[in-house]
Amino acid sequence: MKLTAVLEPDEISGYSAICPELDVASQGESEDEALTNLREAIDLLLETAPRSEIQRRYRPGVKVRSMEVAYA
Q: What mean pLDDT do residues 51-67 have?
A: 92
Reported pTM: 0.86
Mean pLDDT for all residues in the chain: 94
The residues near 10 (Cβ < 8 Å, ≥ 6 apart) are 16, 27
- DSSP annotation of 13 reads T
Task: Count other C-beta atoms under 10 Å from residue 10's C-beta.
Answer: 14
Q: What local confidence, expressed as pLDDT, does residue 29 receive? A: 95
